[in-house]
Amino acid sequence: MTRAKQIVVCNNLVSLTSTNQGWRLGYEDIEHFQDITLFQGALVGTSGDSGGDIEIQGRRVKLTEGSQVISLTLAEGQAGNLRVSASESLELVGGITFEDEEGSFFSPTGLLAEVEEEATGEGATLTIETGQLIVKDGATVSTTTFGEGQGVDLTVSASESVELLGSSPEGEFPSGLFAQVETTATGDGGTLTIETRQLIVKDGAQVSAATFGAGRAGDLTVSASELVKLEGTAPDDFTPSGLFAQVEGNDTGNAGNLTVETQQFIVKDGAQISSAARNGGQGGIITVNASDFIQLSGTSPNADLEEGSSGIFVSAEKAFIDDQSGDIIITTANSGDLKIETGELIVEDGARISADTFGTGDGGTLTLDVKELIIRDGGQIGAGSRVEENPVNPLNRERGVGGTVTVNASESVEVTGSGTIGATPVKSSLFARAEGTGNAGNLNIFTPNLTVRDGAEVTVSATGEGEAGSLKVEAESIRLDDGSLSAQTRAGDQGNITLKVQDVILRRGSEIITNAILDATGGNITINTDILAALEDSDITARAIRGRGGNITITTQGIFLSPDSDVNASSQLGISGTVTITTPEVDPTSGILELPSNPIDAESIVAKNPCAIKEGKIAGGSSFVITGRGGLPPSSDDPLPHVTRVVEWVSRSPEPVRTPVVLRKRVQTNAQGERTYPVIEQAQGWMVASDDTIMLTATPPNVMPQTPRLTHPLCR
């Protein structure tokens, strides 16, 4: 039965056109549509060997109380298209609960497109075009394939916003958008695409492209020009809000890829974005690009170290028990990769970003391309080969290789403080680790400035049978202030730390440490820097227990160690490693003198006029001493060490008073006393002086002419 009402402006015509799948209504001549409402379990649907098309067009379209618009493809043939166009808004609310002998069940309000189990036809599209889309209280928009056919693609275009809110009253059915491959299906799922200005998913609502069968899940793509915000969990405080591209069932279908492009991306209070491999199904790739910032914060109310953190996750899931056979199913597939690109990435208050494997498949790689990376108050970023708490098979610790973490931060990386998840304290950390038989991946950091402080850590570790990865940092500056760079291993000879940096400063008990447990060989520490300073009980250590200690190689222009700081390579029961420090033209044994903690009161020591004449002498005969390399002692109470020269104060002799001498030009006068001036006459001749200078004369020279002895015959 159908209960639907459509109101069109009077005297406008709706065309009717024949198609291969039936008839098509045309609204080309309609200028203004009115509202459409479906309620009280109303049903609009098409079904058959080939699904028919459904098109709904209005201003505000609303479905409530379990009403549905559904397109079913039952046999071989092309699935039908379902299109809803609402110029202002489309709202789907709640569902309806039915009671029968077996109990009650919930039927959601929704838009549904299904390719059934017997069908082999290719999927079509479910399209929503509107200004604002609201799906809440358990309502759903979904495309599903149960058979061999391709699933129907789901496309949402909302010019203003998409809001997915809450779940069904019992929390069993989340509100949301879904593209699914069911357990009986071998066909691939359809794609799920959202284009809008803002996407809000909260209180347990979800957007999911998942496979429960052998078919591959479709890709999930979100493009939000301003904001994506994922927040909270369902009323059970367990089911997260979020975006998901998952392998959910016991079969071998692969997960699809998940892509988010936006300006600002916020995930908080237990919400998640996730792609998971399960059984033999490979995990998908997650790509998040937020031009302004990404902020991940908080946990769900009942979070623990395993579940409940807000965050972004790719994983190969933990083993599970098959519901039908009772067999233990181990995930053999590899995790997907995770790539994040943004201006500022903040991970705080127990939130996490991780690429993990809990099975025999390998973990994915984690790549961060950011301007600023901030991990604080118990936030964590890393990749691991993990062993879960309370595994279904405690004797099986076989795990794949952990993923590699690469951080490219054009401005800075800051890892600070600690926090709690549930009641458990956690350090803020950036890590690559392994807990079972698998080896850990490497951790690479490239940034101008790396800061680790207030108990935070940057670490690579292998606490199981696998080998640790290596930690590599290339930076202009590293600042450790009660922070650590560490590598720990129980097996093999890995767990090395390599730092290439302009200056490294350790303060307040900071550490750069490699630690080999049991028979493992200690990792090596290699530091190339211009300046290295370890202050306030800070250490650089390559340590082992029964294995050989690691080697420490430091090349620097200057190294400064406070008396309580140390550089050592040791093994408790094995052979100690070596420490090599190369410091051109610098004495590496010179320490830093610790200044007194109490400042000196200068006014109580220095008089108001220390240079005043006293007892006939300047400053009463006091002296100023220059000693050593030109420095002063740290306290005025301390003596001057290594006095090599004393310069006494002396009085300067007064200079004699000199009378200025005035030079005057002599004036010529005549007999009457009148001033006369020399007469300037025109030169009449010249002569050569004995020093070959030429002198002009007032009278012509008296020269006797000489006749040549021989006269030319022609001369007369």
Q: How far apart are CA 439 and CA 316, in angstroms?
A: 15
Q: How far apart are CA 63 and CA 79, in angstroms?
A: 23
Q: Tell me if 206 is assigned to some domain.
A: yes
Q: Tell me if 511 is assigned to some domain.
A: no
Q: How far apart are CA 362 and CA 382, in angstroms?
A: 14
- The pLDDT value recorded for residue 710 is 46
Among 18-27, 318-327, 421-430, which stretch is predicted with the lowest mean pLDDT?
Answer: 18-27
pLDDT exceeds 60 at position 8:
no
Residue in the structure block whose two tokens are 């078919």: 215
Q: Tell me if 279 is assigned to some domain.
A: yes
Between 409 and 700, residue with greater pLDDT? 409
pLDDT band at 1 (very low <50, low <70, confident <90, very high): very low
pLDDT exceeds 80 at position 632:
no
Query: Which of 648-657 are b and which e, b meaning 16 or more Cβ less than 10 Å from the residue's Cβ?
Result: eeeeeeeeee
Kindly state the DSSP code that residue 309 receives in the 8-state scheme: B
Within 10 Å of residue 488's Cβ, how many Cβ atoms? 22
Q: Tell me if 290 is assigned to some domain.
A: yes
Residues 6+ apart with CB under 8 A from 314: 274, 275, 276, 283, 284, 285, 286, 335, 336, 337, 338, 354, 355, 356, 364, 366
Between 122 and 435, residue with greater pLDDT? 435
Among 405-409, 556-560, 623-627, 658-662, which stretch is predicted with the lowest mean pLDDT?
Answer: 658-662
Strands 95-100 and 103-108: antiparallel
pLDDT exceeds 60 at position 100:
yes
Strands 685-688 and 694-697: antiparallel
pLDDT exceeds 60 at position 477:
yes
Highest mean pLDDT among 19-28, 270-279, 504-513, 569-578: 504-513
Which range marks the domain in which residue 141 is found? 81-98+125-321
Kindly state the DSSP code that residue 347 receives in the 8-state scheme: E
pLDDT exceeds 70 at position 595:
no
Provide the residue type at 470 as one letter: S
158-203 pLDDT, tens digit each: 999 999 999 998 888 999 999 888 877 777 878 999 999 999 999 9
Per the CB < 8 A criterion, the answer to whether 110 and 71 are in contact is: no
Q: Tell me if 667 is assigned to some domain.
A: no
| Distance separating the N- and C-terminal Cα atoms of the chain | 158
Residues 6+ apart with CB under 8 A from 478: 450, 451, 452, 485, 499, 501, 503, 504, 505
Which token pair is 481? 């202030």
Per the CB < 8 A criterion, the answer to whether 593 and 561 are in contact is: no
Instruction: Domain count for the chain, please give it.
Output: 1
Residue 329, helix vs strand vs coil: strand
Percent of the chain with pLDDT over 70: 73
Residue in the structure block whose two tokens are 């008073």: 657
Residue in the structure block whose two tokens are 């430091």: 554
Q: How far apart are CA 499 and CA 474, in angstroms?
A: 6
Provide the residue type at 510 as one letter: S
Q: How far apart are CA 20 and CA 52, in angstroms?
A: 9
Per the CB < 8 A criterion, the answer to whether 115 and 150 are in contact is: yes
- Say how many residues make up the chain: 716
Q: How far apart are CA 272 and CA 232, in angstroms?
A: 9
Q: How far apart are CA 181 and CA 146, in angstroms?
A: 7
Which token pair is 188? 């691939």
pLDDT exceeds 80 at position 350:
yes
Query: Which of 117-133 are b and which e, b meaning 16 or more Cβ less than 10 Å from the residue's Cβ?
Result: eebebbbbbbbbbbbbb
pLDDT exceeds 80 at position 500:
yes
Between 363 and 69, residue with greater pLDDT? 69
Mean pLDDT of the chain: 81
Per the CB < 8 A criterion, the answer to whether 470 and 476 are in contact is: no
pLDDT exceeds 80 at position 488:
yes
Q: How far apart are CA 390 and CA 385, in angstroms?
A: 16
Strands 15-19 and 22-26: antiparallel
pLDDT exceeds 50 at position 663:
no
Highest mean pLDDT among 3-17, 166-180, 443-457, 544-558: 443-457
Q: Summarize the confidence of residues 151-161 as an average pLDDT.
A: 93
Q: From 180, 191, 193, 196, select the one nearest 229 (Cα to Cα).
A: 196
Q: From 16, 9, 127, 110, select the one nearest 59 (Cα to Cα).
A: 9
571-580 pLDDT, tens digit each: 777 777 889 9
Per the CB < 8 A criterion, the answer to whether 232 and 271 are in contact is: yes
Q: How far apart are CA 308 and CA 221, in angstroms?
A: 24
Q: From 407, 368, 362, 366, select the one nearest 386 (Cα to Cα).
A: 362
Highest mean pLDDT among 148-162, 438-452, 665-679: 438-452
Per the CB < 8 A criterion, the answer to whether 573 and 546 are in contact is: yes
Q: Tell me if 46 is assigned to some domain.
A: no
Q: Tell me if 239 is assigned to some domain.
A: yes
Provide the residue type at 572 as one letter: Q
Among 156-160, 179-183, 410-414, 517-521, which stretch is predicted with the lowest mean pLDDT?
Answer: 517-521
202-232 pLDDT, tens digit each: 999 999 988 777 777 789 999 999 999 999 9
Percent of the chain with pLDDT over 90: 43
Q: Tell me if 681 is assigned to some domain.
A: no
pLDDT band at 270 (very low <50, low <70, confident <90, very high): very high
Q: How far apart are CA 574 and CA 376, in angstroms?
A: 38
Kindly state the DSSP code that residue 34 receives in the 8-state scheme: -
pLDDT exceeds 60 at position 530:
yes
